């Protein structure tokens, strides 16, 4: 197995064997896992140790300096040694079938710099490669910063509101099949996960940053393996929760954990039959329009925002923050259109959901004026105040967008 680092010692390319061992689908996914501290390449005098929340493996290394169009690089050949015992037991998934294909390099940003292939006759690793499940197309860090829709986030983390008591249904048959295990095994692993979460509560609430980080990483990876997106998102949010909000966020995690159920909910037919019997209509709700909002004449409200400060605070590369901001700007335009439509339809709940969605993203990116106004929209219960709040949000947003676009061109 090989990987390549640039002059800043950042991993920019990795062989497919290494990506498979670390259970990441691409070099981009590996890069972001490293940025999140979920995977660490720890250099030592006699080699390097690759650490994950589940285990760590030590390797002897053979390095070779490379010269490329992008500057000096280093090719690192990993020679496996005996790995340490895994610290947390995880579900055993079916190993990927051997194909006999050569081990190709995956390059960061898909740039065709060069390709290094390992010979199939190379010395076999003494460490059994981690099994690989079918991977869902997702980017952990982007999911943390940019949820894909308001509907996915509302009800999962209710900032400042009473946590929903609605059960969180797990389709055991479907989920177990996607992982490649039996429903019985899945239920066993799910029970073990809940037991592990309960055992780690003290670490999550600890003042020791190392204990909190280890507990968070463990719970994140296990929930990801078990395909528990609601739980995974809450744990992701814990990494960026302000200190004063940590206790409530942890409580929300355990409250949500207690609502997990494998009992199948009523089918749509049963719900319709129930609604007919009770004389209620669950198909739709009647809303009275709040009117229309014209944002074309809104004047920008300027404020200072520095990408570098946000990057430093989040301990992430500036380029990555800029990439997130580009996606946030695109998403804000789309969600604002939905917000205006909901306003015309008198749909207060949808407006609050969109406020919640965008507020979380703005807060994570440290765009505080935007976050503050969106917070007010999220918890606004008086429709007569919405127009002023939406216009104030938009005034901050267009100022931010203009400022960012001007700076990013220089």
* Per-residue model confidence as pLDDT tens digits over 198-227: 989 888 888 888 888 888 888 888 888 888
Q: Please state, in angstroms and as integers, the Cα–Cα distance from residue 246 to each residue in 4, 25, 232, 358, following that order.
A: 38, 31, 16, 20
Predicted confidence at residue 86, as pLDDT, reads: 39
Residue 3 dihedral angles phi and psi, to the nearest 5°: -150, 165
Is pLDDT at 19 greater than 80 in this prediction?
yes
Report the alpha-carbon distance of residue 142 to residue 312 in Å, rounded: 18
Mean pLDDT of 37-60: 82
> Once rounded to an integer, what is the mean pLDDT over residues 67-72?
68
Q: Is the dihedral of CA 311, 315, 318, 323 positive or negative?
A: negative
59: CB partners within 8 A, 6+ apart = 47, 48, 49, 50, 78, 79, 80, 81
Mean per-residue pLDDT for 233-250? 78
Most confident residue range from 113-122, 172-181, 395-404:
395-404
Would you kindly state where each structural domain of the chain is located, as residue ranges?
2-87, 143-261, 289-408
Taking phi first (over 0 means left), then psi (-120 to 50 degrees means alpha), and beta for anything else, what does residue 326 get? alpha
Model confidence band, residue 286 (pLDDT cutoffs 50, 70, 90): low
354 within 8 A of 319, measured Cβ to Cβ: no
Q: 220: Cβ–Cβ under 8 A, 6 or more apart, which residues?
A: 38, 53, 232, 235, 236
pTM of the prediction? 0.39
Average pLDDT of span 65-81: 78
Confidence bin at 93 (pLDDT 50/70/90): very low
Which of 340, 383, 406, 169 is closest to 264 using CA atoms? 169
Residue 341: pLDDT band by 50, 70, 90 thresholds? very high
Query: Mean pLDDT, the chain, as a whole number?
Result: 75
Rounded to whole angstroms, the Cα distance separating 158 from 177 reads 31
Q: What tens digit of pLDDT does each residue of 154-167 get?
A: 444 334 343 456 78
**φ and ψ at 65, to 5 degrees?**
-75, 140
Average pLDDT over residues 353-371: 88
The pLDDT confidence band at residue 16, using thresholds 50, 70 and 90, is confident
* More confident of the two residues 63 and 90: 63
% of the chain beyond a pLDDT of 70:
70
pLDDT at 139 over 90: no
Domain 2-87 has CATH 3.30.450: yes
- What Rg, from alpha-carbon coordinates, does the chain have? 24
């Amino acid at each position: 197995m090989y990987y390549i680092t640039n002059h800043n010692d950042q991993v920019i390319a990795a062989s497919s064997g290494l990506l498979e061992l670390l259970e990441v689908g691409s070099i981009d996914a590996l890069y972001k896992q490293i940025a999140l501290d979920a995977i660490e390449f720890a250099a030592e005098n006699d080699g390097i140790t690759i650490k994950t929340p589940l285990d760590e493996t030590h390797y002897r290394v053979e390095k070779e300096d490379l010269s490329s169009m992008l500057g000096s690089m280093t090719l690192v050949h990993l020679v496996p040694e005996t790995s340490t015992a895994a610290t947390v037991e995880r579900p055993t998934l079916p190993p990927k079938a051997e194909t006999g294909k050569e081990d190709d390099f995956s390059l960061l940003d898909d740039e065709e710099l060069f390709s290094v292939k390992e010979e199939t006759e190379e010395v076999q690793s003494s460490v059994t490669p981690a099994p690989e499940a079918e991977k869902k197309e997702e980017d952990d860090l982007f999911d943390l910063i940019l949820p894909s829709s308001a509907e996915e986030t509302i009800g999962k983390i209710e900032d400042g509101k009473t946590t929903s008591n609605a059960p969180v249904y797990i389709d055991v048959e479907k989920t177990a099949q996607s992982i490649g295990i039996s429903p019985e095994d899945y239920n066993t692993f799910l029970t073990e996960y809940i037991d592990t979460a309960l055992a780690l509560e003290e670490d999550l609430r600890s003042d020791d940053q190392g204990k909190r980080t280890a507990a968070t990483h463990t719970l994140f990876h296990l929930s990801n393996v078990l395909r528990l997106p609601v739980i995974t998102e809450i744990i992701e949010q814990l990494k960026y929760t302000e200190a004063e909000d940590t206790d409530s966020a942890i409580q929300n995690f355990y409250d949500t954990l207690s609502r997990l159920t494998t009992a199948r909910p009523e089918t749509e037919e049963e719900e319709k039959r129930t609604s007919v019997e009770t004389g209620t209509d669950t198909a739709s709700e009647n809303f009275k329009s709040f009117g229309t909002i014209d944002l074309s004449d809104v004047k920008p409200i300027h404020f200072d925002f520095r990408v570098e400060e946000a990057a430093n605070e989040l301990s992430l590369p500036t380029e990555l923050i800029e990439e997130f901001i580009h996606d946030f700007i695109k998403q804000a335009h789309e969600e604002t259109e939905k917000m205006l439509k909901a306003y015309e339809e008198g749909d207060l709940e949808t407006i609050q959901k969109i406020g919640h969605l965008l507020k979380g993203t703005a807060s994570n990116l440290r765009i505080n004026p935007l976050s503050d106004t969106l917070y007010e929209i999220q918890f606004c219960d008086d429709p007569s105040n919405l127009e002023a709040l939406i216009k104030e949000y938009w005034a901050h947003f267009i100022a931010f967008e203009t400022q960012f676009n001007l700076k990013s061109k220089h």
